[in-house]
Each structure stands twice: as structure tokens, then as C-alpha cells.
Amino acid sequence: MVKAWLQAHWVAGALFMAGLLLLLAPFFGADRALLLVYLAGPLYMLHQLEEHWGDRFRTYVNRTVFGGAEALTVADVLLVNLPGVWGLNILALYAAALFGAGWGLSAAYLILVNGIAHVGMAVRFRSYNPGLVTGVLAFIPFSVASLVLIPASFLQHMVGLVVSLVIHGAIVVLVKHNAAHAGR
């Protein structure tokens, strides 16, 4: 019952959470690097509105990328976005606050890889995909600025990038597995 409710309402919840989190942003203003890690959360939630309002992204992926196969399920979308995206952003914020801002770079890299993925999908299918506008106008510039402005070591950059690539790679494996087993 809770899962069905979350599946039906999480995107609307993201709108309200993003607004609330943006109202709290001034409390992070003294530390620009920590503020950037913090802002990754509400920025991603605003992107999720464009992407998932009305189940647009899941429908697009299943129809356009996988030719009608149920490669991305409603439950998958919830799993990817709540513990995957929101959870990673919370962990990145804690890592940045406790161990140094550079340990929060996985949030910036998650945003960068996602923005690039939306551009790649648009090029591949020569069409708009849900999430493309915020991916281009917000994700790529924000992530590049974060990667430049957050002081970090080479190791911190590599950890952030690898975490992001592993998450995106797991999503690709999941949808390809689902597509291969759709209709069985």
C-alpha cells in the first residue's frame, strides 16, 4: 500500500521537497563548497519533475529506446530515484559535511553523467526526451561549476565519478535485463 502511494505521488513530493530545501539553502551560504553539494539535492528534484511528471520518462524509454518492451517499470523508477538519487545526495552531503566537501562530489558527478546521458539520448533518437531541458540548462552547467569550485583531490574526483558511473551502469543493466525478460 505504501509502495503504491509512493509510486503515485513521489514526483509531486519532489516538487514540495525541492522548494523546502531551497528555502533552507541560506543556512549553507557560509561554505560555498558545502552549499553546492547541498543544492544538488533540490536541483535533482526539479529535474525529476520534468523527467517523471505524468510517467513521461518511463513511457519514453519503454516506447522509444526499447520498442515497447517494459524495460523500465514503475517500481524501478521509484527505486532509482528515491534511494538511488535522493539517498546518494544525502550520503554525499553527509560525507562533505563530515569529511570535507570533496567527498561529496558523487552528487555533482551523478548530475553530470545524467545530463550527458540525456544529451546522448537526444542525439541518438533525434528527439526530445523527458529531462533533456533541465539536463542541458541546469545539470551540465551546475555540475561543471561544482567540479571546478569544490576543492577536491584526484582521489575524491575519482571516487565521485566511479560512484556515479556504477549507479548509471546498474540502471542500464537493470533495464536491459527487464527488456530481455519482458513478455516471458
- For 69, other C-beta atoms within 10 Å of its C-beta total 17
Q: How confident is the model at residue 6 (pLDDT cuts 50, 70, 90)?
A: confident
Distance CA 125, CA 118 (A): 11
- In contact, 37 and 65? CB cutoff 8 Å: no
Share of the chain above pLDDT 90, in %: 92
pTM, to two decimals: 0.95
Closest by CA to 117, choosing from 56, 58, 172, is 172
- What DSSP character marks residue 25? G
Distance CA 86, CA 13 (A): 12
Interval 35-87: pLDDT, tens: 999 999 999 999 999 999 999 999 999 999 999 999 999 999 999 999 999 99
